[in-house]
A and B are shown apart, each in its own frame.
Chain A
Amino acid sequence: MLARTADNLYWLSRYMERADFLARIVQATQRLTSLPIDYTQPGQGTEWESALEASGAAEGFLETGAPVDEEHVVDYLTFSVENPASIRNCIEYARSNARSVRTALTSEMWEAINSAWFELKRFEQINLGRGQFDREELTRFLDFVKKTSLDFDGCAYRTMLRNDAYWFTRLGVYLERADNTARLLDVKYHVLLPESEAVGGSLDYFQWTAILRAVSAHTAYHWVYRQSIKPWLVADLLILKMEMPRSLIACYDNIVYFLDAIGRAYGVQGASQRHARAVMERLQAASTSEIFQSGLHEFITTFVEDNSRLSETISTQYLVI
């Protein structure tokens, strides 16, 4: 297929996945910041800082000079035109990518993105017109964003022919998802303590459940572990558990699968396939205790770097000829 088409499909998927993640981060942070003061750690105002870190928007936000509070951070992450990774821009870029490669999309996928873009415009108008910060409207908007992501994902899964167009689309989803999960873990690593530490009071509990909720894993946790929430198991779930669709290992299971499919179809394996397999093998060999021994933060940092490198390798190998 045309290299430019593959590139557009790959990025289109990443943007749609990113929009979904941003919506979840905002909702999770709202939940945390609405807790009573005595349920929280000192420095509660840093929750919105965490949200910025998790979405990779901290540097950009600092440059705007705006105060780090709910209204400004939410605006930056949702409707900001300046933030290249705001939800608004993700959907805008996704749609313009989609428009460039209409022939590679099924009509259902195109209509999903195009309708989402029209809805976005409508929400944007409401947002521009309102006087005060309106949480109800925001909730409606964030629910719309999550629904849209599901819609697009579902359309791709259900209607695309299983060929390289499909595989590049899925690669975008999983590389972005892995990146997002990793950054979420990293931002909260200071509350994800290893097993030997005494589980603190209930204060951190809400931090852990916030992480789980952000990836729709709050209930899933109990079905996997059948015990009360333990921070090292939260880390375990999101890094090493194959059953958990957002875990790093599940993402890489898919990434390896799709890169192999491309390799088979094209009759040649390359740097991307080798690199992905190496990351997967490391994850398969890892155990929670080892991860905590060398430090969760260090582990995640290495992972994020590896993930970025894989994205670049895929680009060089297939997308930017």
Chain B
Amino acid sequence: MTFVDGSVRVAYERIAKWLADAPKDMLASRQRHAELMFRRIGITFNVYGDKDASERLIPFDIIPRIIQRSEWARLEAGLVQRVNAINKFLADIYHGQEIVKAGILPADIVESNPYFNKHMVGQKVPHDVYVHIAGIDVVRIDEDDFYVLEDNVRTPSGVSYMLENREVMMRLAPDLFASHRVAPVENYPDALLAALRSVTPTDKHEPAIALLTPGPFNSAYYEHSFLADKLGVELVEGRDLIVEDDTVFMRTTEGPRRVDVLYRRIDDDFIDPEAFNPISMLGVPGLMRAYKAGNITIANAVGTGIADDKAIYTYMPEIIEFYLGEKPLLKNVPTWRCREPDSLKYVLDNLGDLVVKEVNGSGGYGMLVGPHASAAQIAEFAIKLREDPGNFIAQPTLSLSTCPTFFETGIGPRHVDLRPFVLSGADGVRIVPGGLTRVALKEGSLVVNSSQGGGTKDTWIVDDNNSNGTRLQSQSQTQS
């Protein structure tokens, strides 16, 4: 929120005033009110492996995170470019593999990748759109620009929180909305529906869309039901679908009804016990047959995980240049590929200063945060690293930007990231302004994942206050 010298970013000027003026118990009561609203709506989340928390709330912080429209415009252009490149990459990797032939991507990175799905080789995908919904995690690590931390192109989640956070904020702080011009996000479901409709495999009838969920015991179930509701599509579980004549049908009160587009929130491995993991009870036997026959579109396509991959992440600048002939608008966070001997040496020598992640991990698990780790943890990690260097990448500990966050004890800065949601259809890319801001609630922590206790904020894209970027002085925030 603040520049290095303590002056407040222009966008936060009025929020800073609001925070300074508000009596502390008013903020506290609004925060409690927010929690009540979330509980009543039922926006809960199951944390795996936690017997106690059958239903937990993801903590929501009432102080919004603000980004100026001009900054957003730059970010948006970069996101569109990146997702277009990812889609072209996937089309290529499952067909001609030109990028490997051109010597830009090592062949073994592709072949050894557990998400490279052999069923998809040579498979035609409607309109060559593989990633219909992408969640690109970005952070600010210096004064002005956003950097991409991670691409999420399998089953990215969090958009329901983006939407519900906005609804709750509008109810809790209507005065703030009146004084800012916040770009709306409520059209996300419409944009998503348009994207899904555009990729129907057939033009013979009105496309029937369904959202495939693992069911109410899945940690993200709330979001599945929320999206199905807003989209106006059926929320189905594997057992509601059958495949006959290589076509997918839903079991309805009027008999079987064909499904044309399946927005699936089940991982590749569980989606079809006939083709993949045979013990999966969540999937639809024969789904891949229907897919191969061209009778159903699956969003996101099967096999997109290879682009999600942290190893491929390091090649994204080359990928963008190769397929689009453009310089990347959004930079990657500086990253060392441990598969390269020079990089591995550097990383092992500097483990205490680096964040080291597994190439195929997620949810913030399996990583080392050097500066916060004990000598023993570092030594243990070094062993893992030497055993399988190809499975790791390393990044410097980033000084992520912070945003004021409300606690019972007062207001303090906490690190945040941003996940905008990028929608791709046959007719182009759509992005709703903003995205989900995740905040690390523990002081100094860099881990924002909800499964590890992170929270969320409403994200505001507001009109620029001053076009010449004048800084405004303000009192610095202190914890009371």
Contacts and interface: CB of A to CB of B under 8 A. Distances in A.
Contact of A2 (B39, B41, B250): B250
Interface stretch (A53-61, A83-91, A102-110, A189-197): A102-110
Given A4-B240, A114-B42, A164 B234 contact: no
B253 A1 contact: yes
A238 B15 CA distance: 63
Contacts of A266: 253-254
Interface residues of B, number: 23
A134 to B, nearest CB: 27
Nearest to A317: B253
A122 to B, nearest CB: 13
Nearest to A266: B254
Nearest to B211: A103
Interface of A: 1-6, 96, 99-103, 107, 110-111, 114-115, 118, 164, 168, 262, 266, 318-319, 321
B225 A3 contact: no
A6 B253 contact: yes
Given A100-B216, A103-B235, A4 B251 contact: yes
B42 A99 contact: yes
B234 A102 contact: no
A321 B225 contact: no
A115 B40 contact: yes
B252 interface: yes
A321 B236 contact: no
A96 B225 CA distance: 13
Contacts of B225: 99, 102-103
19 contacts: A2-B251, A3-B240, A3-B253, A4-B240, A4-B251, A5-B234, A96-B216, A99-B42, A99-B216, A99-B225, A100-B215, A101-B235, A102-B229, A103-B225, A110-B41, A111-B40, A164-B253, A318-B253, A321-B253
Contacts of B226: 102
Chain B CB within 10 A, most for which of A1, A5, A114, A321: A321
Given A99-B216, A102-B229, A3 B40 contact: no
B228 interface: yes
A2 B236 contact: yes
A262 B226 CA distance: 27
B228 A321 contact: no
A164 B253 CA distance: 9
Nearest to B234: A2
Chain B CB within 10 A, most for which of A1, A102, A114, A319: A102
B251 A110 contact: no
Closest 8 CB pairs of A and B: A102-B225, A103-B229, A318-B253, A321-B251, A103-B228, A3-B251, A103-B235, A6-B253
Given A99-B42, A102-B235, A321-B251, 17 more contacts: A1-B234, A1-B253, A2-B240, A2-B250, A3-B253, A5-B234, A6-B253, A99-B221, A99-B225, A102-B226, A110-B42, A111-B40, A114-B40, A114-B41, A118-B39, A266-B253, A321-B255
Chain B CB within 10 A, most for which of A2, A4, A118, A319: A2
Chain B CB within 10 A, most for which of A4, A5, A96, A164: A4
